[in-house]
Amino acid sequence: MARQKGVIKLEGRVGDLSFYKSGGQFMAREKGGVDGERIKKDPAYARTRENGAEFGRAGKAGKELRNALNEVLVRAADKRVSNRLAATILKAIQADTTNRRGERTVVDGDLTVLKGFEFNNVASLESILKLSHTIVFDRAAGTSQVAIDAFNPNEEIPQVEGATHVRFILAMAAVDFGNQSYEVDVNESADVELAILDQAAINLDSAISADSPHPVFIVVGVEYFQEVNGHMYPIQTKTHNPMAIVEVDVV
C-alpha cells in the first residue's frame, strides 16, 4: 500500500487501483489476491469459506444485538464497536461444539463470552462505576435489577469538566438471533448531583416477558450531564460515558 500525496485526495477504485482513507490518512493499493470464483469453488479454499461463513454470521448477530440496544448505545458506543463486537461474537460461535466448522451458530455457541464487553473502549464501566452494587436477573419473572448502595458522589464518582450530574442506565434485551427480533426495556435513574456528599441507595429495575426462551443481555451505563437553567444537557464526551454488558443469561 502507498500514501496519497498532493492536494486532491481520492477514494474509490480506478482500474486496478483502490483509493481509501485509513487512520486519517489517504492510501492507495493495487488490486490483488485470489479470484473470488476460485474461493467459492476450489476445495483448497474450503477453510476460507468456512471462516467467511462464520464471520458473516458473527457480523449479522452483532448488528442484531446493536439494534436491540440502539437506544442506549448512541450515547456511548465508540466508532469501532461493530467490529469489536463481531470479533467477540465470533469467539462465541467458535465455541459451538454441536455443529460442524462453517456451520457453527451463535445460539449453539457460548454467548457468555460477551459478559464484560465494553461498548465504549475508552471508558470502562469499572473505571467509573466503582460503587458497591449488585445485579440480579430472574428469567422466570423476566425481571432484572441493579441495586447501588448509598454513596458519596463528590468523592466516589470521577469528576468530569463541565458536568454537574450523572445518570445511571439499565437496559435488558432478549434477542432472538434466529428470527432477527428482540425485546428490550431501558430504565434510567434520577439525576445525581456530583457536588453532594450523600446520595441514598439507587435501585433500577427492568422487565421483559416472563420466562423468555432467548439469550438475555443486561447492560449498565453511566452518562454525564450539565445542568443549565434547570435543563440537563448530555456531556458530549466518549471518555467518561461507559456502557458494558454486565450479565449474559442463556437458556
Let me know if residue 206 belongs to a domain.
yes
Q: Structural domain of residue 25, as residue ranges?
A: 1-32
Which pLDDT does position 39 carry in this prediction?
A: 46
Q: What is the DSSP letter of 44?
A: G
Q: How many Cα atoms within 13 Å fall on the side-chain side of residue 230?
A: 0
Let me know if residue 74 belongs to a domain.
no
> Contact, 233 vs 101, CB < 8 A?
no
Q: At 225, which CATH number?
A: 2.60.40.2150
Let me know if residue 80 belongs to a domain.
no
What tens-digit pLDDT sequence spans the chain (251 residues)?
Answer: 555 555 555 555 655 566 666 666 666 655 655 555 654 555 554 566 677 788 888 999 999 999 999 999 988 888 899 999 999 999 999 998 999 888 889 999 999 999 999 999 988 998 888 888 999 999 999 999 999 999 999 999 998 999 999 999 999 999 998 888 999 999 999 999 999 999 999 999 999 999 999 999 999 999 999 999 999 999 877 788 999 999 999 98
Let me know if residue 84 belongs to a domain.
no
The model's pTM is 0.80
Which pLDDT does position 38 carry in this prediction?
A: 53
Number of domains in the chain: 2
Q: What is the spatial distance between Cα 137 and Cα 131, in angstroms, rounded to a whole number?
A: 19
Let me know if residue 211 belongs to a domain.
yes
Let me know if residue 199 belongs to a domain.
yes
Let me know if residue 142 belongs to a domain.
yes
> Contact, 61 vs 111, CB < 8 A?
no
